[in-house]
Amino acid sequence: MHTPPLMCDPPLVARETEIFVPAQLAQGCELILEELGDDDAYTYDAARQTLFILSVVQTGESGNGQVNVHKVRVRFEPPIGGELANDLWSDFGLEFVQSFGFLCRRIYEVSMRIGHGTWEIKELSSV
């Protein structure tokens, strides 16, 4: 979020931030967090695919009159290549091929019926 809401009713207070990091991206890579505070802590739970960041100073604590905006940058080492972890073809390619095959088969069957004269067109007579 580029511009978080700083004044809310009730106040926006959080010590812990959760960020979804897909396991496919993090697998075999080291997570490197940049621009964290000196005393901030973080942990990545691979089973939940969640990066937890725990801030020492609670942002917007009531009574301290102080609002802290935190910025964090996450990167992977080694860097992720230009390809996505998955795409439309790898997700649904088999279904596309099966649907296309079924459609071709139906077109073939209809054309064979028309070509052999087995396709009957009956005229409706008005009563």
The residue segments making up the domain with residue 37 are: 14-77
Regarding whether 112 and 65 lie in a shared domain, the answer is no
Q: Which residues contact 89 (CB under 8 A, 6 or more apart)?
A: 96
Q: Which residue has the higher pLDDT, 87 or 100?
A: 100
For 2-5, which contacts have Cβ atoms below 8 Å and span 24 or more sequence positions? Answer: 4/69
> pLDDT tens, 15-53?
788 889 888 887 888 888 888 877 888 888 888 999 998
Whether residue 51 is contained in a domain is answered as yes
Regarding whether 71 and 31 lie in a shared domain, the answer is yes
Q: Among 6-15, 70-79, 103-112, 118-127, name the one with the lowest average pLDDT.
A: 118-127
Regarding whether 53 and 90 lie in a shared domain, the answer is no
Regarding whether 93 and 71 lie in a shared domain, the answer is no
26: left (phi over 0), alpha (psi -120 to 50) or beta: alpha
pLDDT at 94 over 60: yes
pLDDT at 97 over 90: yes
In this structure, what token pair is assigned to residue 20? 């979804």
Angle at 70 between CA 68 and CA 76, to 5 degrees: 170
Regarding whether 99 and 71 lie in a shared domain, the answer is no
pLDDT at 116 over 80: no
H/E stretch holding 97 reads helix 88-116
End position of a domain, from candidates 60, 77, 94: 77
Total residues belonging to the chain: 127
Whether residue 52 is contained in a domain is answered as yes
How many structural domains comprise the chain?
A: 2
> pLDDT tens, 60-91?
445 555 556 677 888 888 877 666 567 778 88
Regarding whether 110 and 72 lie in a shared domain, the answer is no
Whether residue 6 is contained in a domain is answered as no
Please give the pLDDT value at position 105.
94
Please give the pLDDT value at position 123.
64
Whether residue 127 is contained in a domain is answered as no
For 44-52, which contacts have Cβ atoms below 8 Å and span 24 or more sequence positions? Answer: 49/20, 49/21, 49/22, 49/23, 50/18, 50/19, 50/20, 50/21, 51/18, 51/19, 51/20, 51/21, 52/16, 52/17, 52/18
Q: Among 47-51, 64-68, 93-97, 106-110, name the one with the lowest average pLDDT.
A: 64-68
Please give the pLDDT value at position 58.
55
Regarding whether 65 and 41 lie in a shared domain, the answer is yes
Please give the pLDDT value at position 100.
95
Regarding whether 62 and 30 lie in a shared domain, the answer is yes
